[in-house]
Amino acid sequence: MAEYAGVSPKTVSNVINDYEHVSERTRTVVREAIDALGYRVNIAGRQLRQGRTGMITLAVPELDVAYFSELAKHVMAEADRAGRTVLLHQTGGERGRELAALHGFDTQFSDGVILSPLSLLPRDLATRDRRLPVVLLGERPAEGDTDHVGIDNVAAARDATAHLLARGRRRIAVIGGAVRGRQGTDRLRTDGYRQALRDARVPFDPRLVVPVEAFHWRDGARAASRLMDLGTPPDALLCLNDHMALGALRALHEAGRSVPGDLDVVGFDDIEATRFSVPSLTTVAPDKPRIAREAVALLLHRVDAPDATAPGRDEVVGHRVVVRESSGG
Amino acid sequence: MAEYAGVSPKTVSNVINDYEHVSERTRTVVREAIDALGYRVNIAGRQLRQGRTGMITLAVPELDVAYFSELAKHVMAEADRAGRTVLLHQTGGERGRELAALHGFDTQFSDGVILSPLSLLPRDLATRDRRLPVVLLGERPAEGDTDHVGIDNVAAARDATAHLLARGRRRIAVIGGAVRGRQGTDRLRTDGYRQALRDARVPFDPRLVVPVEAFHWRDGARAASRLMDLGTPPDALLCLNDHMALGALRALHEAGRSVPGDLDVVGFDDIEATRFSVPSLTTVAPDKPRIAREAVALLLHRVDAPDATAPGRDEVVGHRVVVRESSGG
DNA sequence: CGAGATATTTACATCGTTGTAATCGTCATG
DNA sequence: CATGACGATTACAACGATGTAAATATCTCG
C-alpha cells in the first residue's frame, strides 16, 4: 500500500486519520491508492498498537427472544451512527458466560461491552476489571459503580397491574413472578404488582405468583394451564414477558377461555408479535430506541474517556402500557 | 506474562500451542503463571502473525426475523463445538452490506463468512476474492463455485401446495411469490407451487401471486386483506415465511374469516411462534440444525485447507411439511 | 541571503504472537 | 573422552498501524 502510493506507511496512516499536516497533493495520491487497491485498515494491527478496535460487544441471553433481537437492532443502528461496529454475543443467561462477557474474554477485541445479565451476582461486578467499559441493561445485580440502563420495573409492573385493576380484575396472576430472592427483574416486577394491589386494597394471594423455568412460550402456556385448574382461577394474567403471554393466550384458547371475555392477559416488552396475535396483546412497552441510545452513549463515553474511578451512572428510561385487545383495548 | 513465568515469550507460545518439545517442568510453570495472571492469548497479535483468529462470521438479513435468530443459535452451537466463536452480522438484505460481508470488510477479524444473501447478484460472486472462505445459505445467486447450503425450495413449495390441494383447496394464493425475475427464493418457491398446480391439473391464476416488500408480519397481513377483497377470494394462502403467515392469520381474523374453516394458511420456516399461534400454523420446516452443521462444516473445511480453486459444494438438506391447525391438522 | 520558524514527511520502535533457525544442554555411543 | 544426536529453549524477525521524535522541505522576515 505505502510503496504503491510512493510514501511511507506513516503517511498513509496520517491520511487515514486526518492528520492536519499533510499536503493536499500527498493526500490525493494516497486516497487514490486506497481506492485503487481497495485498501482497508487492518484492525488487528491497529488494535495491537492502540488497544482500540472501534467495535463494541452486545451480550444478551438469547437472540431468539424477540425483545433481545429487537433491542440488538436498535443498538446496531445506534452504534452505526457513531461509526462503531457491534459484535453480537449470546450468553444463554449462564453466569459463566456472562462473566466471560464482563471480562471481555470471548470478545477481547472489543472496546467495551453492553451486557444484559440474568444470573450475574453482585460480587461478580465488585471484582470485575474496571478497565473494560461495561454498561448493564435491564437487570442490575448491584447498585453502584457500573453504568446501567433500564426501565423502572417496579413502576412498570405497578402500572400494568393498575390497568387490570381499573378494569375490575381482582384475581391477577403473575406468570414468571418471584416473591422472594434477589432483586432480579422478576422480583422487582412482582414487587410493583404487589404495590398496585395494596394501593387498591386487593388482598395478595401468593398462589397466584407462578415462577417459571425460562421466559419462553412453553413456560407461559404451562403456567396458564396450571392456573386455570385452580379452584378459583385468576381473572387476569400478568406475564412478565410477551413470549410467555403469547404462550398463555394459546393455552387459554385450548382451555376454552376467552380473552378478554373471561380474563385479561398482559405482557411485557412490546415485541412485534403482540400486534398480530389473536387477540392482540396488551403489553408494557419499554422505550427500546432510547435504551439503545443511552446504552451506546454511556459506553462510548467510557471508551473515549477512560476513567476507572468514574462513578456508575444509572439511566432510567420511560415505559408505557400499550392497551390492546387482550385487556379490552 | 513471559517474565512472570521466567521464560521467553516463545516458550509461552509453545506451551499454549501444545508444542511437544517442552519439558514437563516448564509446562507446569507456564500453566501456573497463566492461571495466576488470568492470561489470555491476544487475538490481535495472533491474527497479525498468522492471519487467523478462530472466529467466523454469520451474516443474515435481519436478526429479528425469527428464522434467522433461530438459525444463528444453531450455528453458534455448532461453531462452539468446533472451538470457534461466531460474529453475528446484520445486512438488512442490502446488496452493499452483503457485498461488504462477502469481502470481509466489516468483519476482517474472521476466518470465513456464512452469508445468507437477499440481493447479491451473480456477478458479485464471480468477482469476489476467493481467498476469504464463504458459504452461502438459502438463496444462491448463481450456480457454481461457491459453497452453498439450503433446502430444495422448489420441492418444498410443491409439497406444501400438494398438501393444500389434497385437502381440496383449489384457489391457493402465494404471499411473497414471484412469477418472473431472478431465481431467488421467492421465484423458486413460486415455481414449485406452479408445478404442484400443474400436477393436479389446477389452472394457474397470476392474480393469486402477491409480491411483497419484505417478508414481515405487516406485509402478510396487508396481502391477505387485499386477497380477501378479490371477486373470488382464495381458499388457501401459501405464505413464503411464517411471519407473513402469522400476519395473514391476524388479517383474516379481522376480516371475520375462519382458519381453517373458510380457508387454509401455510407458512415457511417452522419458527417457534407457529406452535403457539391461534390457530397453530402449518409450515414447511427446514432442517435448521442440519443447515447449521453443514454450513459450519463446509466453512471450516475451507478455513483449515485453503484452496481457492476447489469447486463449490452444494448441500441440500431435508424439509418436511408440519401440518397443524391452520390447515386442518 | 541567512536564520529561524513552520510545514511535511519519515525513521524507528512497539504492541503480542509465532515460524524459522540458532543456541545450549544432555546423553548415548564408539 | 570426543562426537554426534536430539531435546529444550530462545533470538530474531515480521505481521500492520501509529506515537514520538527526528529529518527534510518550505517559508518568512530582517
Strand D lies under 7 A from the Cβ of residue A51: no
* Number of other CB atoms surrounding residue A309 within 10 Å: 6
Name the domain count of chain A.
3
Query: How far is A306 from A304, CA to CA, in rounded Å?
Result: 6
A253 located within any domain: yes
Q: Strand D closer than 7 Å to the CB of A49?
A: yes
* Nucleotide C29 C1' to residue B298 CA (A): 52
Q: Say whether residue A18 is in contact with chain B using an 8 A CB cutoff.
A: no
- Smallest CA–C1' separation from B49: which nucleotide? D15
* B98 and B247 belong to one structural domain: no
Radius of gyration of chain B (CA): 24
- Is position B49 within any domain? no
| Domain membership flag for residue A200 | yes
Select from A55, A69, A129, A216 the residue whose CB has the most chain B CBs within 10 Å, as the one to mutate to test that interface: A69
B157, part of any domain: yes
Chain A residues whose beta carbon lies within 8 Å of the beta carbon of residue B280: 250
- Tell me the pLDDT band of A63, cut-offs 50, 70 and 90: very high
CA of A110 to C1' of D15 (A): 20
What CATH number corresponds to the domain at position A31? 1.10.260.40
Asked if residue A161 and residue A257 are part of one domain, the reply reads yes
B276 and B168 together in one domain: yes
A46 falls within a domain:
no
Contacts of B296 (CB under 8 A, 6+ apart): B56, B75, B78, B79, B82, B84, B114
Does residue A33 sit in the same domain as residue A96? Answer: no
Strand A236-239 and strand A264-268: the pairing is parallel
Output the distance from B53 CA to C24 C1' rounded to whole Å: 34
Q: Is A257 exposed, middle or buried (0-12, 13-18, 19+ CB in 10 A)?
A: middle
Q: Which nucleotides of D are covered by protein (CB under 7 A)?
A: 7-12, 14-20
- Specify whether B188 is located in the same domain as B67: no
- Number of C-beta neighbours around residue A264 at 10 A: 24
Mark yes or no for CB contact A73/B87 under 8 Å.
no
Is position A126 within any domain?
yes
Tell me which chain A residues have a C-beta less than 8 angstroms from the C-beta of B73. 62-64, 90
Nucleotide with C1' nearest the A14 CA: D18
- Per the domain annotation, does A109 fall within a domain? yes
> Cell numbers at residue B243, please?
411471519
Together in a domain, B100 and B178: no
Query: Looking at residue B241, which CATH number applies to its domain?
Result: 3.40.50.2300
Residues B281 and B158 in one domain: yes
> pLDDT 10s digit of each residue in chain B, 329 long?
888 999 999 999 999 999 999 999 999 999 999 999 989 999 999 999 998 888 999 999 999 999 999 999 999 999 999 989 898 999 999 999 999 999 887 778 899 999 999 999 999 999 888 889 999 999 888 877 899 999 999 999 999 999 999 999 999 999 999 999 888 999 999 999 999 999 999 999 999 999 999 999 999 999 999 999 999 999 999 999 999 999 999 999 999 999 999 999 999 999 999 999 999 999 999 999 999 999 999 999 999 888 888 899 999 999 999 999 999 86
A60 lies in the same domain as A114: yes
**pLDDT tens for residues A135-186?**
999 988 887 789 999 999 999 999 999 999 999 999 999 999 999 988 899 9
**Containing structural domain, residue A264:** 153-286+321-327
The alpha carbon of residue A278 is apart from the nearest alpha carbon of chain B, in Å, by: 6
Same domain, B187 and B101: no
A64 in contact with B, Cβ within 8 Å: yes
**Helix or strand run (H / E) with residue B232:** none
Distance from CA of A186 to the nearest CA of B (A): 23
Residues B89 and B27 in one domain: no
**Position B47 in a domain:** no
Q: B129 and B62 in one domain?
A: yes
Q: Is A202 on the interface with B (CB under 8 A)?
A: no
Distance B112 CA to D13 C1' (A): 28
Q: How far is CA B151 from CA A243, B193, B243, in A?
A: 28, 15, 19
* Pair (A244, A299) in one structural domain: no
